Structure 1
Amino acid sequence: MAEIKIKLMIAVAFGVMLNPLNTTMISVALSRMQDDLQLSFTDVSWLIATYYIGSAIGQPIMGSLSDRFGRKRFFLMGLFLVALASFLAPLSPNLGCLIVFRLIQAIGSSMLYPAGMATLRHVITERQAKYFGILSIFSSTSAALGPSIGGLLISVWDWEALFFINFPFVITSFILTFKYFPKDSKNTDRGYKFDVGGIILFILAITSLLIVLSLKENFHLVWLLVPVVLIFAFYSYEKKQPNAIIDVRSLVEKTEVTVVYIQYMLVNMLFYSLLFGIPTYLQNVHHFQAGVTGLVMLSISGFGIIISPLAGMWIDRADSSKPVVLVGAIFAIAGSALLFTIGNVTSPIVIFLILSILGCSNGLNNIGLQTALYAVVEPAETGAASGLFMTSRFLGTIFSSSILGNVFAKQVTTANFHYIALAGGIIGILCLLLAFRMKPIQKYQYNLKA
């Protein structure tokens, strides 16, 4: 049984890492793709924007459908779509085709995390935090490694390698999934009707939010009314639907779940502000070479990798994730405060040490919030809950791009960089207040097989 659990873990890990890895890996290839395809920066930036939209929308929808129609089926289908998109994308004759294949890749990879996490929770019923801590390395920390991996692939080949690198992970995961995933029960709900209206409203709400927050020079607060109205319309519509794609009523009734989603969004606002903002600052102000910048940035991913399994073991021993989330918030505040000490001549070693504190914070928060979510969500709803959890991550990513767009809009300077530190401090304080609000949860309240 232990061997089966390990192989199942590998299958899920190789699958769930594809979405965050492909989210950030392409960031270092934009200039090369711009030259190769004769495009403007605005044109190629749509390759990132469409991936954000596809992932933010796809995660909860695919999670909800996998709960109903079969997790193994959806996991295998997701791997197939990622493979298909990764094969066709390098052959794209124009930007339009490339964007379509990126969107297919986003949708396919969005099927993997909710179906994979729900399956693991079904099979592994003891010491879940330990396994979630290991999986967190693949589901979250891989995003931090994306730019380093992307830079290496481009240096030895070209931007096409960013798509081909997916195949070893897809093939391995597909074989192990086919062999070790539990079989899906036959769907007997033949009368199920897809929540088409809810899906359309959700797509419009998320897309409008991304577009409005991406506006810089022409941004006006009044534009925020568009996504706000669409979100309200989505909520009003979904609470009346018997087969709602997202159970908005439970978000109101189970406030502890909603608080976890908000915290995870805040954590990722800080994480992605650092992930994309610090390399820009170091290369423009400190004039670090790409290799040095990459090594400095490894502090965030490296310490996240180290701390995640340790945090998982801590949660298993404490029977609660609240202490881990509290410490993660304190580390975020401390690390953000230390960012103010970085100046124009600060050495790479000092910057590395400061960022390592923030890396620990990210590792603690990822596993702490993930475990807190599954402690209060029923097993049958794990797919949908996991999907919303990942949507919270992408909302944080979208908000972080807005922060960076305003901070570095005119010039990249140390003074402007300190605004990221200020934003990080505010985010850390908010996370700390929300962590205090968390209830000490008994060990895996819903730790029963679905």
Structure 2
Amino acid sequence: MLLGSVLNPINSTIIAVALVPIGRALGAPASQTAWLVSALYLATSLGQPVVGRLIDVFGPRRLFLLSTGLVGVAGVVGALAPGLGVLIGARVLLGFGTCAGYPAAMALVRSEAERTGRDSPGGVLTALAVANQTIAVVGPLLGGLLIAVGGWRATFALNVPLAVAAVLLGLLRLPKAEPKAEPTEEPTAQPTEEPTAGPANGPARRGSLAARLDLPGMALFAAMLVSLLLFLMNLHLRDWYLLALSAAAGAAFAVRELRTATPFIDLRVLGGNTPLLATYGRALVAYVVAYSFLYGFTQWTEEGFGLSPFHAGLAQIPMFLLAIGVSIVSGRSTSVRGKLLLGAVGQISACLVILTLGGDSPLWMLLLVALIFGVPQGLNNLALQNSVYFQADPERTASSAGLLRTFAYIGSMVASSATAASFGQHADTGGLHRLAWVMLGAGVLYLLLTLFDRTLGRAAGAGTGASV
């Protein structure tokens, strides 16, 4: 499960150092190679809750093996891609292929907790958070090593052995489970005679399966999310129609989900689960701050401060190393509220320090900012993950975990747009300060969402389920 869950972050971080070599090799400008990043985010944002719902229905084994096998296929396609279009397609396949790892892990943790009666698997949840943060540290360095040895195609080929290892482990260790039966809204009449196997029963079974999966709901959700993300990727009034399309699809999706017996996302249950909605809101604003720092601050250290790309990457390492340490230490406690509050204070403090930076600031101040950001990086990810685990409907753990990632990626898109709008053509100090004000606003909102959420004190209670 750890290996499957890191397939997405490793592909997210490795591509950062491969964009320039890919652009040079394929003759593509930065505006086009940027789609290699966006394609993965779009596919993952859509795929996480969809695959999560399939895992809720069929169990983690089937979806994990199928999705992770797709990662290997994407690695082959990317390694052999003749042009940028095929390469973008490979990134889309990677996005969908890496969707199963994290929701499957959360679903398996939930099922094992129910089987063993231990409903507070803090060590396992901490391991998931630390594994993802570790990949954030080694991803760029690993990517640079692979490019030096085998060129940029090696960053795609890496997925082949990783997928093979994950599939083999899944075949050996993942428990086999039957699809979960779900009640229908109205009971059906009992047949007068025993049904027989044959073609006549095929359509009925397929119809029942389609109803359980809510394919129309998935399609409307996809239309809503893709339109919204395309709008957020390049904020401009001329693209107002994308926002209108997203709103229309969202309204149709809400109507559909409220009327169907087995919805893709049960808005009736979700609407009554205010703590989980608050967690999703915190995730969105937390990742606005986190990704604004990763995108914006890193660009400024190169253009505004004058560091080389290599040294700019090294300046980030203290943040990730401290984040790992904070996660390991704080993971021993099941408290959620304390982690969130300290993470909020860390975000706000770092933003205030950024407002004092300039091109002539000493290097130690840059390292100080990175260290301060390491505290919320280590606390927020773990606390948000634990919150979803205890607040979600146990029957929808995987899809709820997938939605957490979706809100995180929406936050990353907002951060990307905010960074572009703040910097314009150059990542200068004035642009960094404008971005810091946006980050500060998101950090304050994160703090308020935590302070006024009185349910957080119960989020670590065992067996709380959806009633938290």
- 1:83 lines up with 2:77 in the alignment: no
Instruction: Specify the alignment match of 1:300 in structure 2.
Output: 319
Q: When the two structures are superposed, what TM-score results if normalisation uses the length of structure 2?
A: 0.87
Instruction: Specify the alignment match of 1:407 in structure 2.
Output: 422
Q: How many residues align?
A: 433
Output one character per residue of 1:90-109: Cα deviation in whole Å (capped at 9) or x when no partner.
Answer: 11122222222211111110
Structure 1 220/82 Cα, relative in aligned 2: closer, same or farther at 3 Å? closer
Structure 1 233/147 Cα, relative in aligned 2: closer, same or farther at 3 Å? farther
- 1:227 lines up with 2:220 in the alignment: no
- From 32, 56, 59, give the equivalent of 2:45: 56
Q: When the two structures are superposed, what TM-score results if normalisation uses the length of structure 1?
A: 0.90
Structure 1 149/403 Cα, relative in aligned 2: closer, same or farther at 3 Å? farther
Instruction: Specify the alignment match of 1:192 in structure 2.
Output: 209
Structure 1 47/74 Cα, relative in aligned 2: closer, same or farther at 3 Å? same
Any unmatched runs of 5+ in structure 1?
A: 1-11
- 1:176 lines up with 2:162 in the alignment: no
Instruction: Specify the alignment match of 1:14 in structure 2.
Output: 3
Cα pair 2:39 2:92 within 8 Å, conserved: yes
Alignment-mate amino acid for residue 147 of structure 1: P
Instruction: Specify the alignment match of 1:266 in structure 2.
Output: 285
Percent sequence identity over aligned pairs: 28
The whole-number CA distance in structure 2 between the counterparts of 1:369 and 1:187 is 27
Cα distance, 1:390 vs structure 2? 0.8
Once the two structures are overlaid, the 10-residue window that deviates more, 97-106 or 123-132, is: 123-132
Structure 1 segments, 4+ long, off by >4 Å, are: 186-190, 216-223
Output one character per residue of 1:7-47: Cα deviation in whole Å (capped at 9) or x when no partner.
Answer: xxxxx111101112212321221221112112232322222
- From 349, 369, 372, give the equivalent of 1:354: 369
Cα pair 1:60 1:384 within 8 Å, conserved: yes
- 1:155 lines up with 2:148 in the alignment: yes
Cα distance, 1:186 vs structure 2? 5.1
Structure 1 153/278 Cα, relative in aligned 2: closer, same or farther at 3 Å? farther
Q: Secondary structure at the match of 2:259?
A: coil
Instruction: Specify the alignment match of 1:417 in structure 2.
Output: 432
- 1:278 lines up with 2:297 in the alignment: yes
- 1:394 lines up with 2:409 in the alignment: yes
Alignment-mate amino acid for residue 197 of structure 1: P
Structure 1 313/192 Cα, relative in aligned 2: closer, same or farther at 3 Å? same
Instruction: Specify the alignment match of 1:429 in structure 2.
Output: 444
Output one character per residue of 1:38-78: Cα deviation in whole Å (capped at 9) or x when no partner.
Answer: 22323222222221111000000000011101211111112
Instruction: Specify the alignment match of 2:463 in structure 1.
Output: 445
Instruction: Specify the alignment match of 1:71 in structure 2.
Output: 60
Alignment-mate amino acid for residue 85 of structure 2: G
Cα distance, 1:338 vs structure 2? 1.1
Once the two structures are overlaid, the 10-residue window that deviates more, 193-202 or 278-287, is: 193-202
Alignment-mate amino acid for residue 274 of structure 1: F
Cα pair 2:346 2:375 within 8 Å, conserved: yes
Instruction: Specify the alignment match of 1:6 in structure 2.
Output: none
Cα pair 1:142 1:301 within 8 Å, conserved: no
The whole-number CA distance in structure 2 between the counterparts of 1:66 and 1:406 is 39
The whole-number CA distance in structure 2 between the counterparts of 1:229 and 1:295 is 45
The whole-number CA distance in structure 2 between the counterparts of 1:447 and 1:214 is 35
Counting only pairs closer than 5 Å after superposition, residues 1-40 of structure 1 correspond to structure 2 as 12-40=1-29
Any unmatched runs of 5+ in structure 2?
A: 183-204
- 1:251 lines up with 2:267 in the alignment: no
Q: Secondary structure at the match of 2:359?
A: coil
Instruction: Specify the alignment match of 2:357 in structure 1.
Output: 342
Structure 1 419/149 Cα, relative in aligned 2: closer, same or farther at 3 Å? farther
Q: Secondary structure at the match of 1:406?
A: helix
Cα distance, 1:334 vs structure 2? 0.9
- From 219, 223, 226, give the equivalent of 1:207: 226
